Amino acid sequence: MAEVSVEVSATDCTDLAKVLVRADPGGALAAALDVPFGRAVRDGNDALVVRTAPDAWLLLAAADLATPLVRRVEALGAGEFASVVDVTHGHALARLTGTTAAVVLAKLCAIDLADPATPDGNTFRSLVAGVAVTVVRDDARPGRLTAGSAGATPAGGRDARPGRLTVSPTASLASLDRSDALGSAGATPAGGRDAERERSYLLLCDRSYRQYLRDVLTDAGEEFGLAWT
């Protein structure tokens, strides 16, 4: 029998730091975070800022950056009613990457994942296999957040295999400016040839569903030889 080629892989990124922010959408903290509802943007400080609700943000960063991140945001929110809570342990996180990542996710999730509807940098919360999951389309490379700490040495630089990149202190996140992160909306080739590009999605759920999410991704990805790295 022919070898099954791996068109999709998954990585558990549960150790990444996660900070929940609640604040008035019209306040200074909201302005400083500067991400519209439904988008996720890299800030200049190694964090992926995901706007999950009109008055809520989730910041993702390398595992050992939780406390400095909380401090930094608290400072931004001083002077208004804002809550900054370390929820690192409250959620499981998986990254799904590959040319068929969207096809796998489309077995579990009713949201339109094609480029016009969910371009790179978009986020939504919906049901994935019956569980509420926050999904972030995060193709951006290099500097793609996976597991590991900010202090770790990079795993060989710009590795072509998905799931192997870690955030390194020297990674040029600054070079990944805002307009890049806003994605290629409008640049879709007509008729949907976007299936051949590699895509990457972060999937965030309540921690207790961690094993269940892993099981359903494995099951849905079986057709494409999904491997966990």
Contact set with other proteins (CB under 8 A): 14-15, 20, 22, 37-38, 52-54, 81, 83, 85-91, 106-112, 114, 117, 124-127, 129-132, 189-193, 206-212, 216, 219-220, 223
Minimal distance in Å, beta carbon 71 to other proteins?
14
Structure tokens at 52: 């999950």
Residue type present at position 150: A
DSSP output for 185-220? TT-PPTT-GGGGS-EEEEEEEEGGGHHHHHHHHHHH
Minimal distance in Å, beta carbon 141 to other proteins?
26
Minimal distance in Å, beta carbon 93 to other proteins?
12
How far apart are alpha carbons 79 and 61 in whole angstroms? Answer: 25
Which of residues 74 and 180 has its CB atom nearest to other proteins in the complex? 74
Which of residues 10 and 220 has its CB atom nearest to other proteins in the complex? 220
Q: Residues 12, 58, 49, CA angle at the centre, nearest 5°? A: 95
Which of residues 9 and 14 has its CB atom nearest to other proteins in the complex? 14
Minimal distance in Å, beta carbon 77 to other proteins?
11
User: Distance between terminal CA atoms of the chain?
Assistant: 24
Q: How many Å separate Cα 125 from the centre of its chain?
A: 12
Which of residues 32 and 195 has its CB atom nearest to other proteins in the complex? 195
How far apart are alpha carbons 28 and 9 in whole angstroms? Answer: 40
Which of residues 180 and 227 has its CB atom nearest to other proteins in the complex? 227
Give the DSSP letter of residue 39. B
What backbone phi and psi angles, to 5 degrees, belong to 135? -110, 130
Minimal distance in Å, beta carbon 52 to other proteins?
8
With the C-alpha atoms ordered 57, 124, 149, 157, is the resulting torsion angle positive or negative? negative
Which of residues 129 and 227 has its CB atom nearest to other proteins in the complex? 129
Minimal distance in Å, beta carbon 125 to other proteins?
5
